[in-house]
Structure 1
Amino acid sequence: MTTGGGLSSAGAGAGRAGGSAAGLRTVFSGLTTRGRSFLAAGIAAGVCAYVLGQSDLLRVGLFLAALPIGCVVALYRTRYRVTGTRSLSPARVPAGSEARVHLRLDNVSRLPTGLLMLQDRVHYVLGPRPRFVLDRVEAGGSREVSYRVRSDLRGRYPLGPLQLRLADPFGMCELTRAFSAYDTLTVVPRVEPLPRVRFTGEAQGYGDGRQRALALAGDDDVIPRGYRHGDDLRRVHWRSTARYGELMVRREEQPQRSRCTVLLDTRQVAHHGSGPDSAFEWAVAGAASAAVHLLGQGFSVRLLTDTGISVPGPDGSGGFGGDSSEAVGVVLDTLAVTDQSDGTGLSPAHEAIRSGNEGLLVAFLGSLDEEQCAVVARMRRQAGTAVAFVLDGAAWSREADDGHDPVAARLRRLHEAGWIALPVSPGDRPAALWQEADRHASPTRTGAGVRA
């Protein structure tokens, strides 16, 4: 990702009516502490020289006052143009990983620059603002610098605009100019590779469990496609050929992808703690790992939250197909900005999935009360295989154990409804739990299994 922009030096507006006075006021406002001290000392020396009648002191005062004023005028009359570009490598990083930002400054004027100081604005989560000092850039020359940013928190963070500070050699005056362009760094959840397992379910995926549906015999049900070299001429569909003006053949068989819904419980009341090691962040990372893994196995994946909002949206309710990098990018970008909701129930998610057969349902749930446990149990009816990872609220909140374990009771309820339900405690790894879920599945493996 690359952005660029250009700006002129401090005197860029001097040619306009009234621009000269405004420009000078702007430049004088950029006097540094040293410049203001010299100017104040010069004025004080001039007043003392007038009161005491000391001509030598007056010359010293004039020199002290003239030095910062001369620097201001020189900086105001400077005429050069510079352009800046920024590139990110990469523009999307997992939480806890580093990205490198490359800055390039080009002097496109005919004069060399003076002392330049670069500062790039970054979000406080990414670290301190990087600053660089460039001594001199020759006419037509360029300088390149780079810095690293890192965040343990998901999100989209702006980088820029790049600020250029102009200074005179004596440090009497500094002016700050900003480019208009900025970039965005996307910090996505950490994705852990998951092992290939086979869950028993009704829907079938590619590979060993491939399912094909024959097209119906009626002309109204035929889905034609263009003729390809090697197609059997007996499959030519003459009505479509006449309609489209090119040779069309019947599409006699269509592969059906396994469908999967990854449900993420984002209710704030269901998760304890905050920060990168909180229960909610574990659930988001687990959902990201499951979605990326299933996309890589050829599943049609839909990401669903407790609010009933799904990705893809209503126009793509069937989910993403295949393991394309674009689909993975959309899922990770969505999870990068997913925040906790104010909802108190999972009924909207149940309404979103109750209309069809989900094939495989993978849920990452927070704390469940009796009512929400019953809602989750009913979701099992719409899935061939249902796997739930329930975060143990007491363990994540580090509350004292009073002998009563509500998580165990909820898990038993989900097991009775047909779920493969596992508790999640701090320190558990998604890959290990994924493998354990496979061991808890039915030991009877049939050809109708779902490979995940």
Structure 2
Amino acid sequence: MWLTGRSVALIATAVVSLALAVIAGIPALLYVTGLCAGLVAVAVLLALLSRPRIELHRHVEPAIVEPDEPVEVELALTVRSGVPVVAGQWRERLPSTVLGTATGTVPVTDEPAVELRYEVRGRRRGSHEVGPFSVIVGDAFGLVQRSLSTGGRDRFIVLPRRRPLDVRVGPAGATDGATRLHPTSGLGQDDVIARPYLPGDALKRWHWKATAHHGEPMVRQEESEVRPTVLVVLDTDPRVHDHAGFEWSVSAAASVVAHYGDRGFDVDLACGPTFVSLESGHGLQDALVTLALAEPDSSPVVVPARERTTFVLTGSLDTAAAARLVDAVPSRDTIAFVARGASDAGRSVLTTAGWHVVERDVTDDLASTWDAATGVSAR
């Protein structure tokens, strides 16, 4: 609680009036002294007795957003007090990772709850908290003020940035995509249903009519065939990443997951110790949220032992780190995106295991690096 400038002026007036009353012998000025001092005293007493408190309900919409997408925060503020008080300036604390202004003046209204709104935008992936909230309240004469706050916080999640990828890129280590598939049912009659093209599919399987209709390569899916599946592995080991390299890998993993998830593939995501499965692309947002919240973690990668097309996003590997990945990832049909500074011995461990290695740098464009995978997968 503090005195406002208006109270300071009244106190100064009281002091001057008292001095003039004594020095100049003007008793009437004592009334002015008493009035000024009395107003301040009464305001302080009422402020001590009022015990004001605030109630706040916050709604964040949407709770999951793309990078730079606006997020609207709605506040319902109620000030409760034993005596009437006036709410003035309000402020909501924002992290440095978001752009926006969360401050203003509480409007005067007859309603018990005041509606406040502001908009923010996430600058980078991850979870961003808004709050706590604070507001300045004072008496009706503006003599005494205090700050009230509530510790409640809410958050929203910004998904990783993603890039569109060429549908023709991928490992070609399997014949007709057979090792990239697992059993399913209800796929229809033989040679009737078309599915997206998989790297390695034979030209004789192309469904030209469906390709023209969808605007992307499609192949015939036979009754005996099964749904395509891919595995995306994000190596979260902090020993192989710097900050920029880790963010590049997270963005790349999100792009690959979205690329195949949007096309109806079954996608398994191994993000360090966390494992998420998408069935026919369903659950894509859960996988992207997992990547949005990903942090460097030295825990072992969790990958179920099943052969399928695999993409590994990692960093600057030495021999031990490369051997750890080869032991953790069962698939031989694998492309590993490694940092350009990786040791020759580390890359040799991957290539000896039959992996295709694509070098990348944090300044490289993801789409170009993805295109480069075509060359290594064809060797």
TM-score bucket of the superposed structures, by smaller chain: 0.7 to 0.9
Structure 2 CA distance for aligned equivalents of residues 77 and 416 of structure 1: 79
- One of 254, 262, 267 as aligned partner of 1:288: 254
Please report how far the alpha carbon of residue 116 of structure 1 lies from its aligned counterpart in structure 2 after TM superposition. Answer: 3.3
2:271 equivalent to 1:323: no
Distance 1:211 1:429, change over 3 A: same
Q: 1:112·1:136 contact (CA, 8 Å) conserved in 2? A: no
- CA–CA separation in structure 2 for the residues paired with 1:358 and 1:35: 77
Identify unmatched segments of 5+ residues in structure 2.
186-222
Residue in 1 that maps onto 2:161: 190
Question: Are residues 150 and 212 of structure 1, via their aligned partners in 2, closer, same or farther at CA, if it must alter by over 3 Å?
Answer: closer
The whole-number CA distance in structure 2 between the counterparts of 1:339 and 1:425 is: 20
Going from structure 1 to structure 2, the CA distance change for 1:49 and 1:280 (only over 3 Å counts) comes to: same
Query: What is the CA distance between 1:151 and its match in structure 2?
Result: 3.4
Match of 1:389 among 311, 319, 337: 337
Q: Is the 8 A contact 2:87 2:135 kept in 1?
A: no
1:264 aligns with 2:228: no
Query: Residue 419 of structure 1 aligns to which amino acid in structure 2?
Result: W
Matches of 1:104 and 1:408 in 2, distance apart?
Answer: 60
Query: CA 1:169–1:213 in 2, change beyond 3 Å: closer, same or farther?
Result: closer
Match in the other structure for 2:216: none
Distance (Å, rounded) in 2 between the aligned partners of 1:305 and 1:49:
79
The offset of 1:169, in angstroms, is: 5.0
Identical residues among aligned pairs (%): 25
Corresponding position of 2:309: 360
Is the Cα contact below 8 Å between 2:182 and 2:229 reproduced in 1? no
Task: Summarize the alignment of residues 69-84 of structure 1 with structure 2, pairs less than 5 Å apart.
Answer: 69-72=41-44, 84=56
Partner AA of 1:417 in structure 2: A
In the TM superposition, residue 330 of structure 1 has moved relative to its aligned partner by 1.9
Counterpart in the other structure of 1:441:
377
* Selected match of 2:351 from 398, 411, 415: 415
**Matched residue count:** 338
* Alignment RMSD: 4.0
> For each residue in 1:331-366, what CA deviation from the matched residue of structure 2 results, as whole angstroms up to 9, or x when unmatched?
2222222222357xxxx33xx44x622402211111
| Cα distance between partner residues in 2 of 1:85 and 1:203 | 58
Give the CA deviation at 1:69.
3.4
Matched letter for residue 176 of structure 1: S
SS in 1 for 2:124: coil
Superposition TM-score, scaled by structure 1 size: 0.62
CA contact (8 A) 1:189 1:332 kept: yes
User: Comparing both structures, which one devotes a greater share of its residues to helix?
Assistant: 1
1:125-136 mapped onto 2 (5 Å cutoff): 125-127=97-99, 130-136=102-108
> TM-score under structure 2 normalisation?
0.72
Give the partner amino acid of 1:424: R
Over 3 Å counting, the alpha-carbon distance change for 1:426 and 1:210 in structure 2 is: closer
Pairing partner for 2:127 from 142, 147, 156: 156
Q: Which runs of 5+ in 1 are unaligned?
A: 1-29, 215-252, 313-318, 394-405, 444-452
Letter in 2 for 1:418: G
Deviation of 1:185 (Å):
1.4
1:73 offset after TM fit, Å? 5.7
Aligned residue type for 2:154: D
SS at match of 2:252: helix
* Paired residue secondary structure (2:259): helix
Measured in 1, the distance between the counterparts of 2:29 and 2:224 equals 97
Change (3 A) 1:203 1:311: farther
